Amino acid sequence: MKNLEKSKIDGFKNQFSGEVILPTDPSYNEVRQIWNAMIDRKPGMIARCTSADDVVTAVNFARDNGLLVSVRGGGHNIAGNAMCDDGIVIDLSLLKQVHVNTETKRATVQPGCTLADVDAETQKHALAFPVGINSTTGLPGLTLGGGFGWLSRKYGMTIDSLLSANVVTADGRQLRASETENPDLFWGLRGGGGNFGIVTQFEFQLHPVGPDVLSGLIVFPFDQAKSILTQFASFTESAPEELSVWMVSRQAPPLPFLPEEVHGKEVVVLAICYVGDPAEGEKLIEPLRSFGTAHGEHIGVQPFVAWQQAFDPLLTPGARNYWKSHNFTHLSEDVIDATIEYAGQLPSPQCEIFIASLGGATSRPAPESMAYSSRDANYVLNVHGRWDSEDEDERCITWAREFFAKTKPFASGGAYINFLTNDEADRTESAFGASYTRLQEIKKKFDPNNLFRMNQNIKPL
């Protein structure tokens, strides 16, 4: 990019209706910031799109000038793929419209939307589709990698509600992908990451949710961890699909319902969301309270949008983050013991280990029905390393890698690509599993020269 003639840059600016930000512009350093502070890349240009036509213009300019391309939605990806060095960032973050059709129960969503943007509009009508658990996450990256959250046991992965997508491909075409239009592209988009083009509009099926749900936390002492995790593993194997119970082990934040002497101490937390009649939910969660002697709990009926934002304070931008993740069909005693061992050695007050309970509707589609094939992942474990200072990098990363290695023999294979860090390119093929060869064929058809390679990359066949 440094060698690109000024006349070409000026020509691009004249064709592009959005904002073009260069390294010399005052807003450059602010706009290039993304969620994970470990990523500090310096693109040669940031093209902030205001329409699908802008995306076409930017793709054509990048391709014709041999530029490295990255695509920014929410900028939340752990690997930092929203930014590249020296190339062009095609920034979608200004495209934030959500439209809900209450008759068809469908929503169209632009690619700059966060989960909060989506929830705000859909919940006006007591409708939703499954998304993640941190409301500042960008919708496009979450969706293209699969997507799961509190609604997934009932309604499946995010991609299971995806009906169509408008896509700009590497040759600058605008295509619609669905079960009936470009079905091979649609197959690949549902779990294949950003490998095949840039989505400029998503269309989702909506489901009845809320606007209020029974949700909250039960916080147990860490010395009861073996009993609680063992019961958690058993309980979640047969829980109804309306009920999601996740486990988090970390140092207790200063939550008002916890005694002050518990703040900063290791705890085991059960996070609960029931999508159904709250009275029925109360009966179902009562056994959880007997798993141990809790420090405290905060469970009640609250707006779904509030529960979707409950973990935001623990996941604010600007910290250094490093994750390692495994899928499991069940939680063996070996996995439970390793979790307790490493949760007792947290290298930073912000580090945590969480286990998401999936199954239910996420396991029903056939593994070959779309690119995301890990339908046997009843549990997704994420080792979430998080800290503030570069001096802590080695200690925290080593802790995450050691725990990952210790639990690897018990994992089910595959991986959730949204949790892969930028040093895990060697896991990409195994993450896609049996889908990989077909994904390579689709990549060859729609992006034969691998223009879109700032991702968990699928190399063209």
**3-state SS assignment for residue 75:** coil
Which CATH number belongs to the domain containing residue 38 in this structure?
3.30.43.10
| Residue 56 in domain | yes
Measure the CA–CA gap between 437 and 124, rounded to whole angstroms: 42
Question: At 390, which amino acid appears?
Answer: E
Query: For residue range 187-244, what is the model confidence (pLDDT) as tens digits?
Result: 999 999 999 999 999 999 999 999 999 999 999 999 999 999 999 999 999 999 999 9
In a domain, 3, yes or no: no
> How many other C-beta atoms are found inside a 10 Å radius of the C-beta of residue 55?
28
Residue located via tokens 């690119």: 371
Q: Map residue 269 onto helix, strand or coil.
A: strand
Q: Strands 88-91 and 69-72, how do they pair?
A: parallel
pLDDT of residue 426: 87
- pLDDT per position as a tens digit, 262-293: 999 999 999 999 999 999 999 999 999 999 99
CATH code for the domain in which residue 232 is found: 3.40.462.20
The predicted structure's pLDDT at residue 413: 81
Range of the domain at 297: 212-419
Shared domain for 103 and 85, answered yes or no, is no
Residue 3 has pLDDT above 90, yes or no: no
273 and 395 share a domain? yes
Angle formed at CA 177 by CA 436 and CA 452, multiple of 5 degrees: 55
Instruction: From residue 256, give the alpha-carbon distance in Å to each of 216, 228, 305, 308, 396.
Output: 13, 23, 20, 19, 28
Task: Say whether both 261 and 190 belong to one domain.
Answer: no
Instruction: At 338, list the tokens.
Output: 């390793």
pLDDT value at residue 457: 95
pLDDT at residue 79 in the model: 95
Residue 183 burial (C-beta neighbours within 10 Å; 0-12, 13-18, 19+): exposed
In a domain, 457, yes or no: no
* 115 within a domain of the structure (yes/no): yes
Confidence of residue 353 (pLDDT cuts 50, 70, 90): very high
Determine contact, residues 157/189, Cβ cutoff 8 Å.
no
Are residue 263 and residue 156 in the same domain, yes or no? no
Q: Does the pLDDT at position 343 exceed 90?
A: yes
Helix intervals (H) in 190-321: 225-238, 278-289, 304-308
CA–CA distances in Å: residue 211 to residues 70, 189, 306, 343, 379: 36, 30, 10, 35, 27
Q: Are residues 145 and 30 in the same domain?
A: no
Q: Same structural domain for residues 58 and 129? A: no
Q: What is the CATH number of the domain that holds 108?
A: 3.30.465.10
368-398 pLDDT, tens digit each? 999 999 999 999 999 999 999 999 999 999 9
Query: Contact, 232 vs 291, CB < 8 A?
Result: yes
Query: Same structural domain for residues 148 and 284?
Result: no
Domain count across the chain: 3
**Do 233 and 172 reside in the same domain of the chain?**
no
- In angstroms, the CA 338 to CA 32 distance is 38
Domain assignment of residue 301, yes or no: yes
**What is the value of pTM for the model shown?**
0.96
Q: For residue range 83-106, list pLDDT tens digits in order.
A: 999 999 999 999 999 999 999 999
